[in-house]
Structure 1
Amino acid sequence: MTTIDWAPNTASVRKTGFGTAIADIIAMCGRELRRTLRSVDSLVTAFAIPVSIMLVFVVIFGGAIESDGNYVGYVVPGTLVLCLGFGSAATAVAVAQDVTSGTVNRFKTLPVLGSAVLHGHVISSVLRNLAACVPVLGVALLLGYRPRAGFVGWVFALLFVVLMILAFTWLSALAGLFLSVDAAASVNFVFLFLPYVSSGFVPVDTMPAWLRGFAEHQPYTPIIETLRYLLSGTAPGNTLWVALAWLAGILVVGVLGAALAFGRSVKE
């Protein structure tokens, strides 16, 4: 079985065996994980900031929103989704750095799968964000969070989270192929802002009427509600299909857009 590079060498079309392509992707993934471990900023972004967001909402704001202490059960899914989006957005900066520094063009001259660099960014983002979920959930449990999902519920929640990370990361990778490093850093704002205008932290029906329509129909609300249902052991119903439709659409746009943009940027 062979795989054809998204961005073939201008001199010849490179065909790479499936096993070699997998090895290239694993090598690029290891490169990104090592870069994360060597960067204090990346480690803080991946682990400390999500925990800090959890503490801010539960400890500082929680008492004002729900004085009975049950707010932690409501806010954990929203915080997780916000943190996963925030962590995935870091891929935009990493990809922009590779493009602007000429790293992508250097990889083009090597006998490796050119698109492996993007796959490496995406896979390392999945692993990094899954690892970041552990301390967030740990802190939530210490604060009184008690999910009621059974084994099957946790499996579906994990698969849903992985799909979420893939969709957010591919969209971020697409942005990184077009933007400068400084501009790519602003992608974080989108992933940080939209969860606040959703059901992630307060019920939508508590919002002003002029804002409620947007909050109900933007992608974060069904995504957060689905994760909330899964972790609580409740069937998500139609909310699941709406969330899956949003994530599938984002994933398709991210993957196809990145494939086209990556091939064009390398040829140029």
Structure 2
Amino acid sequence: MSTASLALTDSATMVRRDLRRMVRYPSLTFQLLVMPVVFLLLFVYVLGGTLGAGLGGGRAEYVAYVTPAILLMAITAAVQGTSISVAMDMTGGIVDRLRTMAIARASILTGHVVGSLVQTMLSVAAVLGVAVLIGFRPSAGPGHWLALVGFLALMSLAFIWLSVALGLASRTVESASNVGLPLVLLPFLGSGFVPTDSMPAGLRWFAEHQPFTPLIETVRGLLAGTPSGGTAAVAVGWCLVIALGGFVWSIRLFARDSTR
């Protein structure tokens, strides 16, 4: 077999290993897959009537408004588990053992990235499915749905690589479980749950210029079938910057640990 074929085989093995972790750690998988759905139900049925009235509608309108934010939260929550998985491998000695074996070193990180992408897209599908069940009716056409899937995958990859880097930089599993917390909180400080024009001036400026707002607005536009080209371009730009930064940081940290 060629070097490329061996690398692909090793990567597939690492992906299977990462996916089996979902079965071995059901509590973590439950938290990452179910908690976004719980947040969706909480905001729609507890706060949706009041917040929806503020949008000039009701609970049905608020489902459409809040679903993009919950989708982003599902992505950030799912990839937070990537930091934990990477830190477990790095601190538990399994990576040192893998490095002594005849496998492609790149496959170690590839397994985490692809496995996390699969888990993240499952979480996104669960949130969308529940949103439809409780009354969300997207107006997206086939082209918008394809663009949405591609954008969600790009967004997931960006945050996955960032989470891999955070996991590699963490000295303990406990610190890795906390280091990604801002990724879960930032959607609350954007346009995900209420319009930014309802916020105080200072907070509104931050909400309008932080990366999560264009990400949420792009998803919202695609689901409504009315994407904004300018906002989408900014969102894709943020994804590329985060993905590139996370990738470069991850490679450097992994190479540094390999020389120890």
* TM superposition score category, shorter chain reference: over 0.9
Which residue, out of 199, 222, 231, partners 2:191? 199
**Aligned residue number for residue 247 of structure 2:** 255
**1:189-244 residue CA offsets vs partner (Å, 9 max, x unmatched):** 11111000000111011111111111000000000000110111003220011001
How far 1:115 sits from its partner (Å)?
A: 2.1
Instruction: After superposition, give the CA deviation of every residue in 1:65-105 in whole Å (9 maximum; x if it has no partner).
Output: 11422100100001100111111111111101101111111
Structure showing the higher helix proportion among its residues: 2
* Paired residues of 1:174 and 1:257 also in contact (CA < 8 A): yes
Q: Counterpart of 1:152? A: 143
- On the 8 A contact 1:28/1:121 being kept in 2, the answer is yes
> Where does residue 22 of structure 2 map in the other structure?
36
Alpha-carbon separation, structure 2, partners of 1:53 and 1:235:
25
Which SS does the other structure have where 1:185 is aligned?
Answer: helix
* Partner of residue 232 from structure 1, selected from 216, 219, 224: 224
- Alignment equivalent of 1:58, drawn from 37, 44, 57: 44
Structure 1 letter corresponding to 2:24? R
- In 1: Cα distance, 2:201 partner to 2:229 partner: 25
Q: Which amino acid aligns with 1:43?
A: T
TM (norm. structure 2) is 0.95
Identity %: 39
**Are the equivalent residues in 2 in contact too, given 1:90–1:188 (CA < 8 A)?**
no
Structure-2 separation of matches of 1:20 and 1:114: 11
- 2:79, 2:160 within 8 Å by CA — same for their partners in 1? yes
Q: Is the 8 A contact 1:167 1:248 kept in 2?
A: yes
Q: Report the alpha carbon displacement of residue 188 of structure 1 after superposing the two structures with TM.
A: 3.5
Matched, 1:126 2:112: no
Among 207, 214, 219, the residue aligned to 2:206? 214
Deviation at 1:32, TM superposition (A): 0.6
Structure 1, unpaired ranges of 5+: 2-15
Q: What one-letter code is carried by the residue in structure 2 that aligns with 1:109?
A: T
1:45 aligns with 2:37: no
In the alignment, the residues of structure 2 paired with residue 110 and residue 206 of structure 1 have an alpha-carbon distance, to the nearest angstrom, of 57
1:154 Cα deviation after fit = 0.4
**1:20 counterpart = 2:6:** yes
Over residues 152-196 of structure 1, what are the superposed CA-to-partner deviations in whole Å (9 max), with x where a residue is unaligned?
100000000000110001000001111121111013411111000
RMSD, aligned CA: 1.2
Deviations 1:124-148 (A, max 9, x none): 1110011112221111112110001
Equivalents in 2 of 1:262, 1:17: separation in Å? Answer: 21
Partner of 2:87: 96
C-alpha deviations, 1:97-130, integer Å up to 9, x for none?
Answer: 1011111111110110112111101101110011
Matches of 2:197 and 2:229, distance apart in 1: 20
Whole-angstrom distance in 2 between the partners of 1:81 and 1:189: 14
Q: Which runs of 4+ in 1 moved over 6 A?
A: none
CA distance in 1, matches of 2:100, 2:37: 41
Distance 2:31 2:161 in 1: 19
Aligned length: 254
Determine which structure has greater relative contact order: mean sequence separation of CA pairs < 8 Å that are 6+ residues apart, divided by chain length. 1
**Aligned-partner residue type, residue 190 of structure 1:** P
> With structure 1 as the length reference, what TM-score do the two structures score?
0.92
Q: Which residue is 1:105 aligned to?
A: 96
